[in-house]
Structure 1
Amino acid sequence: MRAHRSSGHHLVFPWSEQYNDDDDASVPDDSSASCPQLCAPYDDDIDSNLRAMEKDTAQRPSPDYLDTVHDGQISAAARASLVPWMGRLTHRFELAIGTLHRAVSYVERFLSARALPRYTAHQLSLIGATAVYVAAKYEDQETVFKLDAREIAGYSKFTSVQEVLAMESEMMVALGYRLGGLNTETFVDHFTRYSKGKEELHVQRLTRHVATGH
């Protein structure tokens, strides 16, 4: 299916129509997620470190990369619609809870650092799927036993294994091999890390739901 051109000059891509019909899929359920390591004596230091990392421009996307790097050829709508498509990918392979947030961060940082050779739905889906692949391996080492470049290529339906591996290498370089940057899930974990009671865990799940936008 061809990308639709909006009333402006940029492209808008109907992801859910193009790549799969799994519209009922959502992000992974976090009900069985394990709590992060608790280190109460170091809470203040951990919080200070997170705040310092948050200000590190090398690990943050440019706020206006759609215009400054891509000259408006990627619309905000196309970028936004890519996220739920990536979410369905994390759901399909039951990836770790933080995978989607980290993958979105990788996409934004990559697009902040790289202009694209062509602005097509194929190219953006390749970037999104590869970001999920890289983030999944960062979040959970067990991912390598259930997800590889062949699975990523198969989900995208038209992206080859070679393209996925080449994009993975390009993405690593663009990110400066710095994969541990902060994302929404980092702060959800940090501020709800002592949640144990039923109501507190409900708040934690609700926070993740709101943060994900699903």
Structure 2
Amino acid sequence: MNLFCGEEHSGVFSGESTADFSSEEVDSWPDDSIASCIEDERHFVPGLDYLSRFQSQSLDASAREESVSWILKVQAYYNFQPLTAYLAVNYMDRFLYARRLPETSGWPMQLLAVACLSLAAKMEEILVPSLFDFQVEGVKYIFESKTIKRMELLVLSVLDWRLRSVTPFSFLSFFAYKIDPLGTFLGFFLSHATEIILSNIKEASFLEYWPSSIAAAAILCVANELPSLSSAANPHESPETWCDGLSKEKIVRCYRLMKAMAIENNRRNAPKVIAKLRVSVRAASTLMRTSDESSFSSSSSSLSSPCKRRKLSDYSWVGDDKSSSE
């Protein structure tokens, strides 16, 4: 199914690579255009109470996290652009805010994730896998193409066909040049800020912040890794001067959250030190035999009970406009 979006866009705002832009070209970008983009971003994010729905557990945060993890795995599997993954998550969040699924988790959530990633790939990728081939990286259910297409149409209807979203990638180059006017570290800024944004996309707490604040906070985090630029990257002073419409308070809070998440991730990924134990040769060999027997038993059990993926198709709610969002 070919999809076309008639909204006009430029490379600056679509998330396309700006690594070849010079500082003179960036200076020529009118600040009011960036400010206009900041003004428009409100139309491409869920409502302000979306995060509170997860906090009150009326929406399942773990189901969202699982779906986002799957989207990132498929993005890596097919080497999609980071923007593709971000758009897919954006479509999913906007849909969940506007319309409740029949179940908070399970096959409806997986179907939504597949449809959103398919739409995002059609927007940004040159080569797009078939709908069947999207269903990789540990999916529990397999959907027929016609079912996914119906879900795509439902997503398009709920989002009012507004797929060319404003994302953090729309601002990264502009903000990077505000700290590094010569563009000396532009490639470093873009790659590391992108990593920060994608690494935090699963965390529901970031739903509180709009794309411009996320982009500014990510750029500040990267700048603080560079000693020569860290003095120009004080989150309490510089961001609000970059462009009209930026909120210093939101950027500072988002920045602190990113730093806290980075510390937490480092703690989780830190290598564990295993205490050295003195064992006799006989005890060690016995332990090895026991471990081998346990592993063989576990392997045999897993081989005898393979994971089965259910094939699902043609659900009435997917195309039913009368379904309530209650």
TM-score w.r.t. structure 2 length?
0.48
**Structure 2 residue aligned with 1:204, among 190, 195, 209?**
190
> Which residue does the alignment assign to 1:30?
none
Query: Is structure 2 residue 150 aligned with structure 1 residue 166?
Result: yes
Q: 1:41 to 1:166 in 2, by over 3 A?
A: same
SS of equivalent residue, structure 1 residue 158: strand
1:127 to partner: Cα distance: 0.9
**Structure 2 residue aligned with 1:187, among 166, 171, 174?**
171
**Structure 1 residue aligned with 2:28, among 27, 38, 41?**
41
Q: 1:206 to 1:169 in 2, by over 3 A?
A: same
SS of equivalent residue, structure 1 residue 42: coil
1:113·1:174 contact (CA, 8 Å) conserved in 2?
yes
TM-align CA RMSD: 2.8
Query: Is structure 2 residue 195 aligned with structure 1 residue 213?
Result: no
SS of equivalent residue, structure 2 residue 30: helix
> Which residue does the alignment assign to 1:152?
134
Query: Is structure 2 residue 105 aligned with structure 1 residue 132?
Result: no
* Separation (CA, whole Å) in 2 of partners of 1:64 and 1:195: 40
2:111·2:151 contact (CA, 8 Å) conserved in 1?
yes
* Separation (CA, whole Å) in 2 of partners of 1:47 and 1:72: 36
Uncovered stretches (5+) of structure 2, i.e. residues with no partner: 1-15, 201-326
Q: Percent identity?
A: 21
> Comparing 147-156 with 94-103, which one deviates more in the overlay?
147-156
**Structure 2 residue aligned with 1:72, among 42, 47, 57?**
57
* Separation (CA, whole Å) in 1 of partners of 2:95 and 2:165: 13
SS of equivalent residue, structure 1 residue 150: coil
Query: Is structure 2 residue 44 aligned with structure 1 residue 62?
Result: no
* Matched residue type, 1:202: F
Q: 1:115 to 1:43 in 2, by over 3 A?
A: same
* Separation (CA, whole Å) in 2 of partners of 1:195 and 1:165: 46
1:41 to partner: Cα distance: 2.4
* Separation (CA, whole Å) in 1 of partners of 2:113 and 2:169: 18
* Separation (CA, whole Å) in 1 of partners of 2:51 and 2:35: 31
Deviations 1:43-86 (A, max 9, x none): 31321221111233xx22124347669x8353222212321211
**Structure 2 residue aligned with 1:51, among 12, 18, 38?**
38
* Separation (CA, whole Å) in 1 of partners of 2:74 and 2:48: 26
Q: 1:201 to 1:39 in 2, by over 3 A?
A: closer
- Structure 1 residue runs of 4 or more that deviate by more than 6 Å after TM superposition: none
Query: Is structure 2 residue 76 aligned with structure 1 residue 91?
Result: yes
TM-score w.r.t. structure 1 length?
0.70
Query: Is structure 2 residue 105 aligned with structure 1 residue 120?
Result: yes
Deviations 1:123-166 (A, max 9, x none): 111111211111111123x134xx12121245645222122111
* Separation (CA, whole Å) in 1 of partners of 2:95 and 2:164: 14
Q: 1:93 to 1:150 in 2, by over 3 A?
A: same
* Separation (CA, whole Å) in 1 of partners of 2:147 and 2:45: 26
* Matched residue type, 2:97: S
Q: 1:106 to 1:137 in 2, by over 3 A?
A: same
Q: 1:154 to 1:161 in 2, by over 3 A?
A: farther
Larger Rg: 2
